[in-house]
Amino acid sequence: MTDGDAGHRLAGGSRLARGLRRGAPVPAQLTVLSGPPGVGKGTVAARLKERCPWIWQSVSVTTRLRRPGETEGQEYFFATKDQFQQMVADGELLEWAENYGNLYGTPRAPVLQRLDKGLPALLELDVKGALQVRAAVPGALLVFLAPPTWEELVRRLTGRGTESPEVISRRLEAARYELAAESEFDITLVNTSVEDVCDQLVSLMLAQEPNGQTGNDCNPDPEGTRWQRLRP
Ligand code: 5GP
């Protein structure tokens, strides 16, 4: 497929088309949704889970404390620092990174099992983790979720104004670093609307339809038969 074909097949704004010209390896089995803190990637991933429960999403391991409403094995697997470090030592994580003093990582085995079967997988990670996945799985499609404007990101990061100025300035510094990594990604989606970003992500994941159909169709398919059909 040429870049021109991909640009033609995928709906989206000019940044999406520009991203495709960076040489995105479409079709991709492994899609990574990433972006700076506060951009809303967790919200997009959660909404996608509601809309398209048949899109398999990896559940990360973290050492951070469980928040109210979170369930073990659903949002995260919660681990102690020792348990996490043991997983790293045993090579059980595809990638891992530290965020605000907590460790986060992607269990390797479930992702590889999925890919071995020719079925797509979606990861939602910070930028450091996404770039590690690029090295570990060269064919992965790295999607950068960008804020509509820097001011909007600052507004989201400063939130309710309850955090100390040190915490806020650390967050802004991290966001600046992560925004600068955008050019290393295959595609940029601008988060002007959670629903639009979900549509575009589904289009990207379905871009491997043999008949070239992109489709934003989100019919639940718990058996995964839709993806099975996509196998050559
Ligand atoms: P939170 O604690 O708010 O759920 O997540 C904090 C940050 O960790 C977010 O930027 C999220 O994308 C990132 N994150 C979640 N899971 C993983 C993971 O498995 N690996 C990496 N590198 N980052 C993750």
Residue nearest to atom 24 of ligand 1 (CA): 125
Question: Cα 138–143–144 angle (5° rounding)?
Answer: 125
Domain extents in the chain: 8-55+120-228, 59-113
Pocket test for ligand 1, best of 126, 132, 167 (most atoms within 8 A of CB): 126
State the Cα–Cα distance between residues 142 and 187, nearest whole angstrom: 7
Q: Which CATH architecture has domain 8-55+120-228?
A: 3-Layer(aba) Sandwich (3.40)
pLDDT at 11: 32
For the Cβ of 170 lying below 6 angstroms from any atom of ligand 1, the answer is no
Counting from 1 in the atom list of ligand 1, the atom nearest the Cα of 64 is 2
pLDDT at 1: 34
Short-list 185, 174, 192, 194, CA closest to 19: 185
Distances (CA, A) of 119 to 30, 64, 137, 194, 199: 9, 30, 14, 25, 19
pLDDT at 216: 43
Residue nearest to atom 4 of ligand 1 (CA): 42
For the Cβ of 63 lying below 6 angstroms from any atom of ligand 1, the answer is no
Name the stretches of the chain with pLDDT < 50. 1-27, 209-217, 219-232
**Rounded distance from Cα 44 to ligand 1 centre (Å):** 13
> Which tens digits make up the pLDDT trace of 41-84?
999 999 999 999 888 999 999 999 999 999 999 999 999 999 99
For the Cβ of 97 lying below 6 angstroms from any atom of ligand 1, the answer is yes
**Rounded distance from Cα 34 to ligand 1 centre (Å):** 9
Hey, which bits of the chain come out as E strands? 30-34, 60-62, 76-78, 93-99, 102-107, 121-124, 141-146, 187-190
| CATH no. for 59-113 | 3.30.63.10
Q: What is the pTM of this model?
A: 0.81
Q: What is the three-class DSSP state of 148?
A: coil
3-state percent helix, strand, coil for the chain, nearest multiple of 5: 45, 15, 40
**Rounded distance from Cα 125 to ligand 1 centre (Å):** 5
For the Cβ of 201 lying below 6 angstroms from any atom of ligand 1, the answer is no
Pocket test for ligand 1, best of 34, 78, 125, 179 (most atoms within 8 A of CB): 125
